[in-house]
Structure 1
Amino acid sequence: MRDDKLLTRISALLRQAEGTDNPHEAETFMQAAQRLATAASIDLAVARSHDPAGRRDTAPVTRQISIGTAGKRGLRTYVQLFVAIAQANDVTVDVAGNSTFVMAYGFGSDIDTCETLYTSLVVQMVAASDAYLRSGAYKGEEFSRVVTQGTGWRARRVVETKPLSPITARLNFQSAFAERIGKRLSEAREEARAEALRADPDGDRKPSSTALALRDKEIEVSDFYRSESKARGTWRPASASAGYSEAARRAGDRAGRRARIGADREFGGARGELEG
């Protein structure tokens, strides 16, 4: 489990991000939180590589994380957000067929980081999409989807364009939000990794001890996932039948760029899941 002091430092950075009205400052604080989490994860990997006993005591785990209740609309975009966060934090994810929960595979400290980030970001994603719908900006826009016309040998797939409905606008907005957050966190992660590799005292060796530790960790998580996962098939964040709206996605991307993160909800707490 990650040191409580480290989680406190990460949460403090997230609250600073949420507390500023300057979007550039908010992004700086958020990326600092991700870099701190990545640096701590690298330190743990390096320490384990030099300590056989620590390697035995600290191993990958599987954790089930609730996303929402069956039947709620929009759970796939919540899952998409969690998956984007997980990919930036060395965690592999399986998704339930109805998107009500995910199975996270990785080191417990990395999964802790994913939950800390998700708890803040999912609230902001829903709030931002609600504000977008209330603004009415989606009205008058259109969306496209692939449909099948005709039957048998006459059947053909065509692109159909229709007025943008609120639910389609919400799903496109939230999907783009999740994609943008994933890119921001991944950029911060790569910056932290590059810094750690530059700071390695034996950095002139190829590969360095830090690079080897990170590679060993990647292999360990991958092997653990293959041995533990019961998933079949590949999860996709969206389908062609759901409809595509460029306008709603642009709005969601802008919201993802401006997102401020604060650890203000207890994950899976008494306040329950969010509405889809």
Structure 2
Amino acid sequence: MRDDKLLTRIAALLRQAENTDNEHEAETFMQAAQRLATASSIDLAVARSHDPAARKRTAPITRQIAIGEAGKRGLKTYVQLFVVIARANDVTVDVAGNSTFVIAYGFESDIDTCEALYTSLVVQMVAASDAYLRSGGHRGQVSARVVSRGGGRRIVEQKPLSGITARLNFQSAFAARIGARLTEARDAAQAEALAAESAGDRAASTAIALRNKEVEVSGFYRRESKARGSWRPTSAAAGYSEAARRAGDRAGRRAKIGPDREFGAPRGALEG
């Protein structure tokens, strides 16, 4: 069941992160938002494990979420951002072959959390990469890629770093850093919940509930997914840039979370 009060509380924390100029305060609010989402998810899992009626009322769902228009360059990095957010919130994702949309599998409240986080972070990711390119920080750098030569030889080819390759590397590193931050917050919230229950000898109950939830979502995904093959976030053909990735990682560390900054596109989507 969708919890609008929970989303309101998460949104308030995200706006606090957005409105502070203090990087450490922003980090605290972001962590609090993810931990609140995780704590609510744990509470729901425990309640469902003890109440058969609750299990019937709340079951995993699927939701299609728009990422961008076909032909827009860089959609894979937008998808990568959604995927890392989903992993931190017990949601499994299938990706369209052209990366224009994803299909999320999980509990409704968890998917809502993913969309709230994505809506803010995707705009920040694009804005940060735009600023990086405008600064000229990529100029004078090189990208590297492995190419094949005759006789099965493979060599590393280096060439000047182009704007599009810089953007893709920047955004990929940004997404990876966000995934690490959210996963850290989730793990801390789960550890806190288990520690709080250990005094009452109920930690095993929470652990079992979380495991049962994982199994339920996994089973639902296997039954419902029509996906074939596996999705990979980046293409080796684009080239690798250590400098652009370092810049993207730094931007991911500084990112503030706020759901009210978005392009004028449908929820979760980016305009071309």
Structure 2 residue identity aligned to 1:221: V
- Structure 1 Cα separation of the partners of residues 89 and 240 of structure 2: 29
Is the alpha carbon distance of 1:202 and 1:231 closer, same or farther for their aligned partners in structure 2, counting shifts above 3 Å? farther
Say whether residues 1:75 and 2:78 are aligned partners. no
- Quote how far apart the aligned CAs of 1:148 are: 1.8
Given candidates 166, 169, 174, the residue that maps to 1:169 is: 166
8 A Cα contact 2:265 2:271, kept in partner = no
Structure 2: which 5+ residue stretches go unaligned?
none
Q: Is residue 2:150 matched to residue 1:189?
A: no
TM-fit CA distance, 1:158: 1.4
**Counterpart residue number, 1:208:** 204
Shift of 1:156: 2.2
CA distance in 2, matches of 1:251, 1:273: 23
- 1:81-230 matches, within 5 Å, as 81-150=81-150, 154-200=151-197, 204=201, 208-230=204-226
Number of residue pairs the alignment of both structures matches: 271
Contact 1:14–1:30 (Cα < 8 Å) also in 2: yes
Query: RMSD over aligned Cα, in angstroms?
Result: 1.7
Partner-residue secondary structure (3-state), 1:120: helix
Distance of aligned partners of 1:272 and 1:48 in 2 relative to their CA distance in 1, 3 Å threshold: closer
For 1:224, give the aligned amino acid. F
Give the Å deviation of 1:29: 0.5
**Alpha-carbon spacing, 1:272–1:77, altered in 2? closer, same or farther (3 Å):** closer
> Could you tell me how far 1:271 is from its partner in structure 2?
10
For residues 127 and 63 of structure 1, do their structure 2 counterparts lie closer, same or farther at Cα, with a shift above 3 Å needed?
A: same
Contact preservation (8 Å) 2:77, 2:168: yes
What is the CA distance between 1:155 and its match in structure 2?
Answer: 3.8
Q: Which runs of 5+ in 1 are unaligned?
A: none
For residue 95 of structure 1, report the CA deviation from its aligned partner: 0.6
* CA 1:28–1:270: 2 relative to 1, 3 Å: closer
Q: 1: distance between equivalents of 2:3 and 2:12?
A: 14
Contact 1:60 1:224 in 2 (8 A): yes
2:119–2:268 Cα contact (<8 Å) kept: no
Change in Cα spacing, 1:169 to 1:203, as seen in structure 2 (3 Å) is farther
Bigger mean CA offset, 257-266 vs 241-250: 257-266
Give yes or no for contact 2:123–2:263 (8 Å, CA) kept in 1: no
TM-superposed CA distance for 1:159, in Å, is 0.9
Change (3 A) 1:19 1:169: same
Q: CA deviation at 1:3?
A: 1.4
Question: Once the two structures are aligned, what percentage of the paired residues are identical?
Answer: 77
Q: 1:40 to 1:129 in 2, by over 3 A?
A: same
Q: C-alpha offsets along residues 216-244 of structure 1, whole Å, 9 cap, x if unaligned?
A: 00000000000111111111111221100
Return closer, same or farther for 1:202/1:58 CA change in 2, 3 Å cut-off. Answer: farther
